[in-house]
Amino acid sequence: MSVLFSPITLRGLTVPNRVWLSAMCQYSADDGVPTDWHLVHLGARAVGGFGLLLTEATAVTAAGRGSRRDTGLYTDAQVAGWRRVVGFAHGQGTLIGVQLGHAGRKSSARVPWEGSGSLPAAEGGWTAAAPSALPFGDLAVPRELTVDEIADIVRAFGEAAGRAVDAGFDVVEIHAGHGYLAHQFLSPLSNRRTDGYGGSFDHRVRFLREVVRAVRGRWPDDRPLLVRLSATDWVDGGWTPADTTVLAGLLATDGADLVDVSSGGLDPRQLITVGPGYQVPFAREVRSAGVPVGAVGLITDPRQAEAVVAGGSADVVLLARAALREPSWPLRAAHELGVPAGALPYPEQYLRGVWR
């Protein structure tokens, strides 16, 4: 039996396989509300056999959106929009989680295919806020958050978790990688504060730990809480895999159940060595902290994915671009790995296409 297609249990939730859909921004929301695009995009992957779907980074405040077209979970209308998507996934027997985030200094950016840089106020843009007044690339200089504003954002994460319960999500993931706000607090490259949220390692991880506790406080005890981390900034003097491993252990004590290990996104100077499974070694290192982990990054071949899990580098794999190219990747992978047809929940409408 394939290890990749064996179940995994986190708290009270058993996910039927270890091929999960990674969070990927779609830039297609309407005032933070998911649209038909999200229903079809996520619905296709629900039909395609993924054990767990993760939504794109979903903002906990309007000002925390990366762009004006990002999804949110800070209004009742957004809850209703997500409930529709969640209901379809559950109708296919698929589990679904929401990734909660705040873009920090990456907020108010243009939608990628509409240009680069920050969206000006005349076009609906707003002033980004961050741990320190340091810009990212060609984005506008953000203002530095006050301590009271930090507390407000922590509360907003908790409130969004409560709305995620109302929307019916099975899992919550906190986005603390890819240069988003929590990552900006973690890295000394973007955090130059001299108060209790900057300077030492313990101070720089404080914001994320407070967020995890706030979310855990509003999230049911029997449902898992995940955290996405960038294991390294790929820049000298930045956040490191060793830092990530230590932090993973701390987050487990705060209530996190799995660390989703990615890398980069904080600093345009990053020099990334890219190749098949290039981030898997980071996942393996973080797993040494005794915390379940997910691996992501150029995992494209079924046997490669099987080896990552069977070899002990990660507990699950997450697919991103490969899943954009092939919504039913898990069904093909199961076939190639010799999984019996009855072991995956094919929709009744597709049974005629099941291999014999």
346 is catalytic: no
Choose, from 74, 180, 278, 346, the residue flagged as catalytic.
180
Looking at residue 3, the DSSP 8-state letter turns out to be: S
**Stretch (H or E) spanning 147:** helix 147-167
Residues ≥6 apart with Cβ < 8 Å to 344: 5, 17, 49, 330, 331, 334
**CA distances to 119, 138, 163 from 190, in Å:** 21, 15, 30
Residues ≥6 apart with Cβ < 8 Å to 176: 182, 183, 186, 208, 211, 227, 228, 229, 230
- Helix 206-218 to helix 147-167 angle (10° resolution) is 30
**Stretch (H or E) spanning 17:** none
CB 133 within 8 A of CB 143: yes
305 token code pair: 């994915």
Residues ≥6 apart with Cβ < 8 Å to 338: 2
What is the C-alpha separation between 125 and 123, in angstroms, rounded?
A: 6
**Buried residues in 152-173 as b, exposed as e (16+ CB within 10 A):** ebbbbbbbbbebbeebbbbbbb
CB 24 within 8 A of CB 322: no
**CA distances to 20, 33, 273, 295 from 313, in Å:** 16, 37, 19, 8
290 token code pair: 């005794």
Question: Could you list the active site residues?
Answer: 180
